[in-house]
Structure 1
Amino acid sequence: MITRVDNYLHAVPLSGSVAEQVGPFTLFRSTTVWPYYARPVPGSGRTIEPSDVEAVRSRCEELGIPLSFEWVVETCPSLGPAAAAAGLTVVEHPLLVLERDDFRPATADARCEILPAEEALLRQGRAVAGLAFGDAGTAVGAAGPAERDAKAAEIPDDMIKGLLGRARDGVTVSAAAFTDDGLVSSGQHQPVGSTTEIVGVATLPAMRRRGLAAAVTSTLVEHAFANGVDLVLLSAESDAVAAVYERVGFHRIGFAGAAE
């Protein structure tokens, strides 16, 4: 299972990047409006040294792109210590998976649906994510519909163009929850073959603690299972966030590492 997850995570950036080998890593050079990262090549069994991290740093400096790494801790346990020794900040997040038989659909007092490739909706969904990740955690916060609308107006047109392209190509599938206040929670999944990852699930801080994130996740899972996927994965920001996903049947298989 964890090997399958690792292979998926190595394939999914290819829809928006050019891959380049740098020592034991694949460096994904972004062709979209957001940066990607380097990953250790799955199955190589290589022990990563700080010098390997420095080689990627040098290449990123040549290209003028940010230095960052993502990996599955259990398949490359040496990368975290090597990255820390090279002066990077290292974090680990719970890594969870869901198979069809374990799925427990969730609902909320909201209308949840898969979003069409429409600029206004994708702009609002991106704004919700920006506000939510800027006020991390699960506690109720201050930002609500007015802040969402202001944030949506600030999102660059080139980012929206990129999101629309990915939506039309089926590379990224978005879902959202709607109340009388409009779009208040959103998220995406990114299918590659029979595996997908749920990413970017976020709720307006003022609307938290209403089960909206679980309902949006459930909508994305239902779409994935109805369209040829049999394994869904995700990484959670914290144990508290992981608990939201565990309510719909996800279970932990390890940790996702990140360093920058």
Structure 2
Amino acid sequence: MAPADSGLFDRLERFYDAMPRPWARIEEIGSLVLFIREGEGWPYYARPRPGSPTPSAAEITEVRARQRDLGLPETFEWVHETSPDLLAVARSAGLDVLLAPLLVLDPAALVPDLPLRDATLRYLDPAGPTFAADLHASRTVSRLGFAAPAYQAPLEMAEKALFIQGAGPTERDAAEPLDAEAVRQARELFASGAFLTAVAESPAEGIVATATSQRDGDVAEVVGVATLPSARRRGYASQLTATLSGRLVADDVDLVFLSAGDDDVARLYTRVGFRRVGTACIAEPAAALL
């Protein structure tokens, strides 16, 4: 792992705090900030308030109660290098913590754009006539991909994962369509320039992989990188990540970063120009991580 860079982590903290604010309502509970998404989209989380003392177990418990009242996932996120004492506190408060490799892009090491195998790359256009269908396909691919990780599921999850492990275009297309309000809000988000989604599209299978960036100023995070389970091992995810990152750099973003699910996934990103700098912590109640 690279040596700690306090300036880098300060920039990441400012990004994490700023990115949800245009789309969320804010509640501060002690040293924690709870972001409550307004409208459709993935629910947000609670994070330590920048510059605050380490949150206590009692504050975590209070935030969890508030999240339950609001019908939100009891999720917390932070960077270990910025809040090193929070890991032990979160575990003492009954949370399981995923330690996700945190990587930043080295633009000089970024691999060039390469042709995708049996697919083409394009970006979702919020003004285009196919935006609603493209958004539906992209989000469904992401949901199916994350529901069936590429690594071998534990035995106790095998039965639950049986359907989604082999999910393909049929399962993607069978997903319930997005409602008109969700599409409207997504158009607004994408038109603002804060969000950009690249997809790999096969002539025979449609959209089979997706990657999204969320941007605040000159910092951007690559998120939601996923491949339809039936279309894995074709290099889609890594090339989408590289191409999307290259576009961000060309558009004056000078810090591109992402979090990987584990060390094996992190190694895929290091091959396209990223390097590990730290650890992103994602905490949920034990049952939620099963």
Q: 1:112 aligns to what? A: 121
The one of 14, 18, 23 aligned to 1:7: 14
Once residues 147 and 235 of structure 2 are traced to their aligned partners in structure 1, the CA distance between those partners, rounded to angstroms, is 20
Deviation at 1:157, TM superposition (A): 4.6
Paired with 1:220 and 1:253, the residues of 2 have a C-alpha distance of: 20
Q: Distance in 2 between matches of 1:64 and 1:147?
A: 27
Aligned to 1:134: 147
* Mapping for residues 37-52 of structure 1, pairs under 5 Å: 37-44=45-52, 46-52=53-59
* Distance across 1 between alignment mates of 2:275 and 2:28: 33
Residue of 41, 51, 56 corresponding to 2:63: 56
Aligned length: 258
Residue 80 of structure 1 aligns to a residue in which SS? helix
- Paired amino acid for 1:212: Y
Is the 1:88–1:259 Cα contact (8 Å) retained in structure 2? yes
Per the normalisation by structure 1, the TM-score is 0.91
Unaligned runs of at least 5 residues, structure 1? none
Could you tell me which of 251, 267, 284 is aligned with 1:227?
A: 251
Q: Distance in 2 between matches of 1:96 and 1:239?
A: 11
Partner of 2:101: 94
Query: What letter corresponds to residue 140 of structure 2 in structure 1?
Result: A
Q: Contact (CA 8 Å) 2:33, 2:48: kept in 1 or not?
A: yes
**Residue matched to 2:74:** 67
1:165 to 2:173 alignment: no
Rate the CA distance shift 1:62–1:127 in 2: closer, same or farther, 3 A: closer
What CA distance in whole angstroms lies between the structure 1 residues aligned with 2:233 and 2:9? 31
Q: What SS does structure 2 have at the residue aligned with 1:112? A: strand
Measured on the aligned residues, the alpha-carbon RMSD in Å equals 2.0
Give deviations 1:211-240, integer Å, cap 9, x for gaps: 100111122112211222011010011112
After superposition, the Cα gap between the structure-2 partners of 1:240 and 1:59, relative to the gap in structure 1 and judged at 3 Å, is: same
**2:124–2:199 contact (8 Å) kept in structure 1:** yes
Q: CA shift at 1:80, angstroms? A: 1.9
Q: Deviations over 1:5-61 (max 9, x none)?
A: 2221121111321222211111112113232111112233x1332112123224334
Distance 2:144 2:34 in 1: 29
CA distance in 2 between partners of 1:89 and 1:51 (Å): 16
Identical-residue share of aligned pairs (%): 40
- Report the AA paired with residue 116 of structure 1: D
Match of 2:261 in 1: 237
- What secondary structure, in the 3-state scheme, does the structure 2 residue paired with 1:92 have? strand
Look up the equivalent residue of 1:37 and give its one-letter code: Y
Shift of 1:106: 4.6
Q: CA deviation at 1:99?
A: 3.4
Moved more, 217-226 or 131-140: 131-140
Answering whether residue 46 of structure 2 is matched by residue 23 of structure 1, we say no
1:204 paired to 2:228:
yes
Task: Choose 249-258 or 140-149, whichever is displaced more.
Answer: 140-149
- Give the letter for the 2:120 counterpart: R
Aligned with 2:221: secondary structure? Answer: strand
Distance in 1 separating the partners of 2:165 and 2:60: 38
* C-alpha displacement of 1:64: 4.4
Deviations 1:197-222 (A, max 9, x none): 00001111111111100111122112
Gaps of 5+ in 2: 1-7, 153-163, 285-290
Aligned equivalents of 1:143, 1:62: Cα separation in 2:
34
Q: Is the 8 A contact 1:100 1:231 kept in 2?
A: no
CA contact (8 A) 1:95 1:234 kept: yes
SS at match of 2:13: helix
Distance 1:246 1:138 in 2: 18
Cα distance between partner residues in 1 of 2:185 and 2:151: 29
Counterparts of 2:70 and 2:237 in 1: how far apart (Å)? 37
Query: Would the aligned equivalents of 1:15 and 1:171 in 2 still touch at CA under 8 Å?
Result: no
